[in-house]
C-alpha cells in the first residue's frame, strides 16, 4: 500500500512503532531499565513501556526520552532520506 493510501492512524502507528523500537534498543544498549529511564525523564515505567511498544505518545515525551538516552530527534527533507542507501545507514556518495 502506498503512503498516500495509508490512513493517518496507520502511518502514526508505524512511526510510533519504529521510534519506540529505536528507543528500546538504545535503552538496552545503555543497560538501563525502563524504571531508570522513567525516573530520569520524569514519567512512569508504564509510560516508557508503552512508548517502546509503539503506542503513540506526544512529541515532547519522545524528545524527553530520546534526550535521556543521549539521542536527538531530527527532521529531514524527503530528498535527504533518498540519499540514504536502502538497507544501510550510510549516505550515498
Give pLDDT, residue 14: 84
- The H or E element spanning position 40 is helix 34-41
Beta pairing partners, 91? 84
Instruction: Note the pLDDT of residue 30.
Output: 98
**pLDDT band (50, 70, 90) for residue 33:** very high
User: In this predicted model, what pLDDT tens digit does every residue of 35-84 receive, in sequence order?
Assistant: 999 999 999 999 999 999 999 889 999 999 999 999 999 888 877 666 65
Q: Is the pTM of this model over 0.85?
A: no
Q: Which residues contact 7 (CB under 8 A, 6 or more apart)?
A: none
Domains of the chain: 3-82 (1.10.260.40)
Amino acid at each position: 500500500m502506498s503512503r498516500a493510501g495509508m490512513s493517518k492512524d496507520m502511518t502514526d502507528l508505524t512511526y510510533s512503532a519504529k521510534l519506540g523500537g529505536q528507543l528500546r534498543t538504545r535503552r538496552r544498549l545503555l543497560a538501563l531499565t525502563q524504571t531508570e529511564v522513567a525516573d530520569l525523564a520524569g514519567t512512569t515505567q508504564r509510560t516508557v513501556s508503552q512508548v517502546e511498544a509503539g503506542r503513540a505518545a506526544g512529541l515532547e515525551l519522545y524528545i524527553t526520552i530520546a534526550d535521556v538516552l543521549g539521542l536527538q530527534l531530527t527532521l529531514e527533507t524527503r530528498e535527504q532520506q533518498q540519499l540514504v542507501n536502502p538497507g544501510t545507514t550510510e549516505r550515498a556518495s
